Amino acid sequence: MLRRPDYPLNTQTFVPGLEFAAVRDLMLGDAARWDLPVQQDDAQVLVVQLAYGLCSFRPQPSGTLAALHASRPEKLHVIRERLLARLTELVPEQIGALRWSGAGQSEQVTADGPPPNFHFATVQNVAVPAANFLRVRANMSDLTGFSNDSIHFRLLLPPQGIATPAWPVLAENGSTRWPQGDKALHKPVYTIKHLDQSAGNFDFDVFIHEGGRVTEWAQNLKAGTRFALLGPLGGGVLESRKILLCGDETAFPAIARILGNLPENAQGQVLVLSDKVGDDAYRFETPPGVTLIRLFRGQDDLVQIALDEQAKQSDHFFWFAGEKADVARVRAVYKARQGDPVTSYIQAYWALGAA
């Protein structure tokens, strides 16, 4: 098995009936689509770099040996789940029976136990940082997996009124088994706006909107309330010095966190869309070379303005997050302009009318 000093954890499984050529085609297709570096590709081994680690494949007489390498148990778990989902396309009948071995299988990662990225947190307080937002500060016993590399998490809300909520558990093949039916969880994604590792707490900001289950939950929170989450997940802050950041309220916490981590000499623009509010609009701290432009719903077209600016600042990292249909418009134009996926992040954060 490959051993990498930067990825001390590894785990592997033999996948019977999986042809090396088939998994090679699948993974090279993913690597091309998502711009994942291919570290090795020959008759003996394929090694692909993923956002959270490495995966490698070696042909065997009656199948393929798949191995995963990561820096932390929760990252290993995330890439294992993704790989299982991809392999389901090729050998669906084998997936349930797969078993993993190696240093990634620590004592805590046992079947029917919690997934390594599952946590309970306790509400410390709830504040109003700006019009239409609530800020939840929560304590968590172990925040070591959370960093600037990965700034999101899934809030796990059981159905209202349920006496004994059910939580996700690990299945024997390493995937996450989710509660189903009347115990199914609501799992929206939120952003860690601020993280204080030494105090063991973090803040996330909830945009208050009509019909929002999280809105209702947050409005009724009290200090000491325990809640569950899954994380970290998703992307992190930007390495780039030249930036064009665009988004609506759901993206404000991520934009604020990215701005807070930019170098002092960063340059660029931030376009933020919201309803018109008074002096208590959501606050952003920008480095001197970065301009903040507030746009207003019903008056300004965030998509068009963002695309116009992107055309003028094509050497800037292009970051856009917001409503699904807006994101689809942005993605289509950016693609038609042959925009580089490596220097962009274009992501739907919510969908109009979605349940």
Q: How many residues bind to ligand FAD according to rule CB under 6 A?
A: 27
The four Cα atoms 281, 282, 283, 289 give a dihedral, to 10 degrees, of -100
Q: Which of 188, 236, 260, 287 binds ligand FAD (CB under 6 A)?
A: 188
DSSP state of 301: -
Element (H, E) at 78: helix 73-87
* Region binding ligand FAD by CB under 6 A among candidate stretches 27-35, 59-67, 135-143, 345-353: 345-353
* Region binding ligand FAD by CB under 6 A among candidate stretches 36-44, 202-210, 220-228, 255-263: 202-210
Q: Which of 189, 237, 292, 333 binds ligand FAD (CB under 6 A)?
A: 189
Taking the least distance from each CB to ligand FAD, the nearer of 43 and 354 is 354
Q: Which of residues 209-248 bind ligand FAD (CB under 6 A)?
A: 209, 211-215, 234
Strands 53-60 and 189-191, by their bridges, are unpaired
φ/ψ (deg, to 5) at 64: -135, 140
Taking the least distance from each CB to ligand FAD, the nearer of 57 and 252 is 252
Is 287 one of the binding residues for ligand FAD (CB under 6 A)? no
Could you give the angle at the alpha carbon of 225 between the alpha carbons of 219 and 226, nearest 5°? 120
Sign of CA dihedral 348, 351, 354, 355: positive
Sign of CA dihedral 107, 111, 113, 119: positive
Burial class of residue 317, CB neighbours in 10 A (0-12, 13-18, 19+): buried
Is 205 one of the binding residues for ligand FAD (CB under 6 A)? yes
Smallest distance, ligand FAD to C-beta of residue 351, A = 6
Q: Which residue is nearest to ligand FAD (CB)?
A: 212
Q: Tokens 């991520």 appear where?
A: 254
What's the CA gap between 11 and 13, in Å, rounded? 7
What's the CA gap between 164 and 169, in Å, rounded? 15
Smallest distance, ligand FAD to C-beta of residue 150, A = 10
Taking the least distance from each CB to ligand FAD, the nearer of 58 and 186 is 186
Smallest distance, ligand FAD to C-beta of residue 132, A = 9
Interaction pattern, residues 242-281, with ligand FAD; x per rule: CB under 6 A? -------xx--xx---------------------------
Smallest distance, ligand FAD to C-beta of residue 237, A = 13
Smallest distance, ligand FAD to C-beta of residue 352, A = 5
Q: Which of 191, 240, 274, 286 binds ligand FAD (CB under 6 A)?
A: 191
Smallest distance, ligand FAD to C-beta of residue 57, A = 29
- DSSP line for 273-293: EE----TTPPP----TTEEEE
What's the CA gap between 161 and 48, in Å, rounded? 45
Smallest distance, ligand FAD to C-beta of residue 332, A = 19
Smallest distance, ligand FAD to C-beta of residue 40, A = 32
Q: Which of residues 133-172 bind ligand FAD (CB under 6 A)?
A: 152
Taking the least distance from each CB to ligand FAD, the nearer of 56 and 191 is 191
Smallest distance, ligand FAD to C-beta of residue 133, A = 8
Is 20 one of the binding residues for ligand FAD (CB under 6 A)? no
Is 207 one of the binding residues for ligand FAD (CB under 6 A)? yes
Which regions of the chain does DSSP assign to beta strands (E)? 9-16, 38-41, 46-50, 53-60, 63-70, 118-127, 133-139, 152-156, 169-170, 176-177, 189-191, 194-196, 201-207, 226-233, 242-247, 267-274, 290-296, 317-323, 344-350
Taking the least distance from each CB to ligand FAD, the nearer of 10 and 347 is 347
- DSSP line for 23-77: HHHHHHHHHHHHT--EEEESSS-EEEEETTEEEEEEEETTEEEEEEEESSHHHHH
Question: For binding to ligand FAD (CB under 6 A), which residues are involved?
Answer: 152, 186, 188-191, 204-207, 209, 211-215, 234, 249-250, 253-254, 349-354
